[in-house]
Homo-oligomer: A and B are copies of this chain.
Amino acid sequence: MPQSEADTALSAMLRPRSVAVIGASEDASRIGGRPIAAMLERGFQGAILPVNPKRDRVQGLPAFASVAELPETPDVAIIAVPPALAEPALRDLGARGTRAAILFTAGYAEMGAAGAEAQARLLGIAREHGMRLLGPNSLGLLNAANGFYGTFTSSLERGYPTPGPIGIASQSGAYGMHLFSMARDWGLGLSCSITTGNEADLTVGDFIAWMAEDPQTEVIAAYSEGIRDGTRFLAAVELARRNRKPVVMMKVGRSALGRAAAQSHTASLAGDDAVTDAVLAEHGVVRARTTDELLDIARLATRRIYPVGNTLGVLTVSGGAGVLVSDAAEAVGLPMPPMPEAAQAALRADLPFCAPQNPVDCTAQVLNDLSLVSRFGEAMLGEGGYRSALLFFTHAGGAPSITPRLREQLRALRGRYPDRLLVLSALADPPQLRQFEEDGFTVFADPSRAVVAIHAMGRFGDAFADAPPPVLPEVPALPLPATTPSEAEAKRLLAAAGIATAPERVCADAGAAAEAAQALGFPVVMKILSPDILHKSEIGGVLLNVADAAAAREGFALLMRRAAEAAPQARLEGVLVAKQLSGGVECILGINRDPVFGPVAVFGLGGIFVEVLRDVALRRCPFGEAEAEAMIRSIRGAPLLLGARGRPPADIAALAQMLSRLSVLAHRAGPGLAAIDLNPVFAMPAGEGAFAADAVIEIAEHAS
C-alpha cells in the first residue's frame, strides 16, 4: 500500500475532523462510553457521532441508529461492539467511505484459530474498501494536542497528559498505557500515544513512520514484542533518523528462530533477539532495558541536543559520586577523557585541593564560593570541550540557602554553551526542579540513570550525523541452484563472488586423489562429496592430516565406504582433496535468514568461541568492508586475531572483505537462500589472505 494512503489513514486516526463511535454508551465507564467522555472533557473540536440503535442521545450528543444514518462520512470510526457486530459495522463504514477504523473489539487472533479467521475476515473487508485498521484488540490511541481520545484506557481516571513532544507507539495495550501513564505522572509532554493490539493491519512501525513526519512529535518511544514487517519497520526508523527524531524502543521477548533457519549450524548460535539488537543499533534506535530507562531517554531527548562523538565531563561536589559516575560511564562505554594539562593546572591554582582531571571535584568549597561553578564549568566546556556535562550538586540543588545563587551560575553557563548537553544530578522540590528544567537542565536524582540517558543522546547524535553511505563491493549475482549444492559446487559459486577457498580438487577415484594430494602438497584434508550429506563430520566423512600418497589412496576408499554405510541413498560425487591450511586462526562466517529482517551475517572464531561462549557478531546484509571489520573487532575473542599471545596478527582486511562480499551475495540472492556456512575459514597472517576450508549453501525449502 503506498505510503501516502497510509499517511492519510493514520492522519485520520490521529487528527480526524469527525469520529463515529459504534457501540456508543451513555455510561462513561464502559468501553463505548469512555472515549466520548474523554473527548467531551478535553474539548475535542471535531464532530463526535455516537452510533447506538437504542438511544436518541448519548452523553448529551445526538445519537444515530446505524452507520447508514450518520449525517456525514466520519474520518474515523471507533468500533466498540462485540465481534458479531463488528464485521457488519466495518462493512457499513467501508461502504460509507470511512477510511480508518479503531477496533477495541477483542476475541480475534489472540483467542486461537477461529479468532484468527475472524481477524482475517476483518482485514479482507478493510482491504476491499481501502480502509486501514488499528487493532483489533487495541486499547486505542490518543492525541494530547487536539483532545482526540480514541481509547478506553482507565488510566485517564488519574488525569490527562500535557501536550508535548513525546510520541508513544506500543504493541501491548496495557503496557503501552502504563508507559503513557508513567510519562504523564512524571509530567512529560506527550504528542500522542498509540496501542496497536493484534496488528492485523497497522503496526508499531507504521506509527513510527507517521510520527517521524508529525510536526508535533519530536521524540519517539516504542514498545514491541515482535516486529511484524521488518522492511516497513526499517523504513520507518530510517525516516525518523533522516528527520532527526530519536527512537527509543523496548523490544521484549525472544521468540524461537524459524525452523528453516535453525537447520543451519550458525542459525542456532544466535537467537533472533541478537539480530534485533544488531539491527536496532545499526539504524540508530536505542534499545531501553527498563521502563525508567525508556522514559529517562525520551525525557532527555526532548532537549534536542544530540552530541556527535559524545564525551562526558563530570563536575561534582562529591568525590564519591564522581567515582560512581565514572563506573557508570565505563559500563555503558561513554568516554570521559581527562581535562587538558594546562586547564588542570589552572583549576588547581584556583582551588588547591580540587581534583581537576575528570571527574572534576570542586569539593564542598563550592558551597562557600558558588562562582567556582562558572569558573570550573567554563574550563570544562571551553577547554575540556566535553559535548556533555553531568553536574552533581546533590541536595545543594534544593537547599534554599544555596539554590538561587547556584541557579544564577548555571544559567550563565547554559547561555554560553547552548549546544552542549547539560544534565544536573540534584535533589530538590518540584518547583525548584521545574526552574532548572526551564533553564535548560534536565535533572536526575540518580546520577547513574543520568549517565545512561546522556550516553543514549550521543548514540542518537552519531546516528543523525551524515555518515558516508557504506561502500558495497561489486559482487556478481549468485545463480542460486534449485537444490542444496555439494561442497565443491558451493565453493565454486562462492569463488565466483571472490570468496577464496583453500586450493582443492574434486577426485572421482583413489588414483586421482593420490595425484591431487601430491600436486597440492601434504598434508591434505579429504572429504566425502555429496549434495545429500550436509554435515560430513558426523558420519566420519572428513579425514585430516593425510600425509602421503598412499594414505590419500586409502582415504578415498574409506570415505566412500563410510558414506555408503551411513547414507545408502546419497548421491556420491567423489572426494574433495584440499590443501590443509595451518598457521591461521579458525573463524566461522555465516548467513542466516531472519524471519523479520532477512539475511543476517554472523562472524565468530571457530571452536569453543562459537560453540561454548556464543561469542559472535551479527549484522543485517548487505554491508561494506568497514562495517565487516567493526564486526570482527567487536567480538570478545578479537585479541586472538589482533596478535594476542605472541601470534602474528591475522589478515583482518581479507576477512572483512570476505564477510562483506558474503553479505552482498546473500542480499542479492533473495529469499531462495536459506543459509551459508563457511566453517572453518582460516584467517592467515596479515597479507596472506583468508580461505574458506568448508562451505555449505542451503536453499530454502519453499522459496517463494
Residues of A whose CB lies within 8 Å of any CB of B are 29, 110-112, 153-155, 157-158, 170-178, 181-182, 185, 223, 225, 250, 252-254, 289-292, 317-321, 323-324, 326-328, 353, 364, 367, 394-396, 398-402, 427-429, 445-449, 607-608, 611-613, 636-637, 639-640, 644-645
Q: Give which listed residue, B394, B402, B640, contacts A178 with CB less than 8 A.
A: B394
7 contacts between A and B (CB under 8 A): A29-B401, A112-B353, A154-B395, A157-B401, A174-B317, A181-B427, A611-B645
Alpha-carbon distance A633/B119, docked complex (angstroms): 50
When the two chains form their complex, are residues A225 and B320 in contact, meaning their CB atoms are under 8 A apart? yes
Known: A185-B427, A253-B327, A290-B328. A174 touches B613 (CB 8 A): no
Q: Give which listed residue, B225, B326, B395, contacts A177 with CB less than 8 A.
A: B395
Q: Give which listed residue, B29, B172, B364, B400, contacts A319 with CB less than 8 A.
A: B172
- Shortest beta-carbon distance, A229 to chain B, in Å? 19
- Shortest beta-carbon distance, A200 to chain B, in Å? 17
Query: Which chain B residues border A427 with CB–CB below 8 Å?
Result: 155, 158, 178, 181-182, 185
When the two chains form their complex, are residues B398 and A158 in contact, meaning their CB atoms are under 8 A apart? yes
In the assembly, how many copies of this chain are there?
A: 2
6 interchain residue pairs of minimum CB distance: A172-B320, A174-B318, A155-B395, A175-B320, A290-B448, A154-B399
Q: Which residue of B lies closest to A157 (CB)?
A: B399
When the two chains form their complex, are residues B612 and A644 in contact, meaning their CB atoms are under 8 A apart? yes
Q: Give which listed residue, B111, B353, B367, contacts A154 with CB less than 8 A.
A: B367
9 more CB-based (< 8 A) A-B contacts, given A153-B395, A158-B395, A252-B327: A29-B401, A157-B400, A174-B320, A182-B445, A253-B326, A289-B448, A290-B328, A291-B447, A292-B449
Query: Which chain B residues border A396 with CB–CB below 8 Å?
Result: 154
Alpha-carbon distance A611/B639, docked complex (angstroms): 10
When the two chains form their complex, are residues B318 and A175 in contact, meaning their CB atoms are under 8 A apart? yes
When the two chains form their complex, are residues A175 and B291 in contact, meaning their CB atoms are under 8 A apart? no
- Shortest beta-carbon distance, A408 to chain B, in Å? 17
Query: Which chain B residues border A112 with CB–CB below 8 Å?
Result: 353
Q: Which residue of B lies closest to A637 (CB)?
A: B612
Query: Which chain B residues border A449 with CB–CB below 8 Å?
Result: 290, 292
- Shortest beta-carbon distance, A345 to chain B, in Å? 16
Query: Which chain B residues border A171 with CB–CB below 8 Å?
Result: 320
- Shortest beta-carbon distance, A91 to chain B, in Å? 26
Query: Which chain B residues border A153 with CB–CB below 8 Å?
Result: 395
Query: Which chain B residues border A613 with CB–CB below 8 Å?
Result: 613, 636-637
Alpha-carbon distance A178/B428, docked complex (angstroms): 11
Query: Which chain B residues border A328 with CB–CB below 8 Å?
Result: 290
Most buried by B among A155, A170, A223, A290: A290
Query: Which chain B residues border A174 with CB–CB below 8 Å?
Result: 317-321, 364, 394
Most buried by B among A177, A178, A182: A178
Query: Which chain B residues border A395 with CB–CB below 8 Å?
Result: 153-155, 157-158, 177-178, 181
When the two chains form their complex, are residues A318 and B173 in contact, meaning their CB atoms are under 8 A apart? yes
Q: Which residue of B lies closest to A112 (CB)?
A: B353
Alpha-carbon distance A25/B394, docked complex (angstroms): 25
When the two chains form their complex, are residues A446 and B290 in contact, meaning their CB atoms are under 8 A apart? yes
- Shortest beta-carbon distance, A584 to chain B, in Å? 16
Query: Which chain B residues border A446 with CB–CB below 8 Å?
Result: 182, 290-292
Alpha-carbon distance A363/B641, docked complex (angstroms): 51
Alpha-carbon distance A611/B643, docked complex (angstroms): 12
- Shortest beta-carbon distance, A263 to chain B, in Å? 20
Alpha-carbon distance A29/B399, docked complex (angstroms): 11
Query: Which chain B residues border A111 with CB–CB below 8 Å?
Result: 353
Alpha-carbon distance A289/B331, docked complex (angstroms): 10
- Shortest beta-carbon distance, A618 to chain B, in Å? 19
Q: Give which listed residue, B158, B170, B319, B398, contacts A320 with CB less than 8 A.
A: B170
Q: Which residue of B lies closest to A170 (CB)?
A: B320
When the two chains form their complex, are residues A177 and B320 in contact, meaning their CB atoms are under 8 A apart? no
Alpha-carbon distance A402/B158, docked complex (angstroms): 12
Alpha-carbon distance A326/B399, docked complex (angstroms): 41
Query: Which chain B residues border A177 with CB–CB below 8 Å?
Result: 394-395
- Shortest beta-carbon distance, A328 to chain B, in Å? 7
Query: Which chain B residues border A254 with CB–CB below 8 Å?
Result: 327
- Shortest beta-carbon distance, A583 to chain B, in Å? 17
Most buried by B among A185, A291, A396: A291
Query: Which chain B residues border A317 with CB–CB below 8 Å?
Result: 174
Alpha-carbon distance A253/B428, docked complex (angstroms): 27
Alpha-carbon distance A357/B686, docked complex (angstroms): 54
Q: Which residue of B lies closest to A111 (CB)?
A: B353
Known: A178-B395, A292-B449. A324 touches B250 (CB 8 A): yes
Query: Which chain B residues border A636 with CB–CB below 8 Å?
Result: 612-613
Alpha-carbon distance A689/B14, docked complex (angstroms): 72
Alpha-carbon distance A46/B448, docked complex (angstroms): 40
Q: Which residue of B lies closest to A367 (CB)?
A: B154
Alpha-carbon distance A364/B110, docked complex (angstroms): 13
When the two chains form their complex, are residues B319 and A399 in contact, meaning their CB atoms are under 8 A apart? no
Q: Which residue of B lies closest to A182 (CB)?
A: B445
Query: Which chain B residues border A640 with CB–CB below 8 Å?
Result: 608, 612
- Shortest beta-carbon distance, A681 to chain B, in Å? 18
Query: Which chain B residues border A398 with CB–CB below 8 Å?
Result: 157-158
Alpha-carbon distance A112/B348, docked complex (angstroms): 14
Q: Which residue of B lies closest to A355 (CB)?
A: B110
Q: Which residue of B lies closest to A324 (CB)?
A: B252
- Shortest beta-carbon distance, A20 to chain B, in Å? 24
- Shortest beta-carbon distance, A172 to chain B, in Å? 3
Alpha-carbon distance A605/B568, docked complex (angstroms): 42
Alpha-carbon distance A300/B398, docked complex (angstroms): 27
Query: Which chain B residues border A157 with CB–CB below 8 Å?
Result: 395, 398-401
Query: Which chain B residues border A170 with CB–CB below 8 Å?
Result: 320
When the two chains form their complex, are residues A448 and B644 in contact, meaning their CB atoms are under 8 A apart? no
Query: Which chain B residues border A428 with CB–CB below 8 Å?
Result: 158
Alpha-carbon distance A400/B174, docked complex (angstroms): 17
Alpha-carbon distance A250/B447, docked complex (angstroms): 13
- Shortest beta-carbon distance, A269 to chain B, in Å? 14
When the two chains form their complex, are residues A320 and B252 in contact, meaning their CB atoms are under 8 A apart? yes
- Shortest beta-carbon distance, A535 to chain B, in Å? 14
When the two chains form their complex, are residues B324 and A394 in contact, meaning their CB atoms are under 8 A apart? no
Alpha-carbon distance A395/B185, docked complex (angstroms): 11
Alpha-carbon distance A302/B320, docked complex (angstroms): 26
- Shortest beta-carbon distance, A473 to chain B, in Å? 30
Most buried by B among A323, A395, A613: A395
- Shortest beta-carbon distance, A436 to chain B, in Å? 15
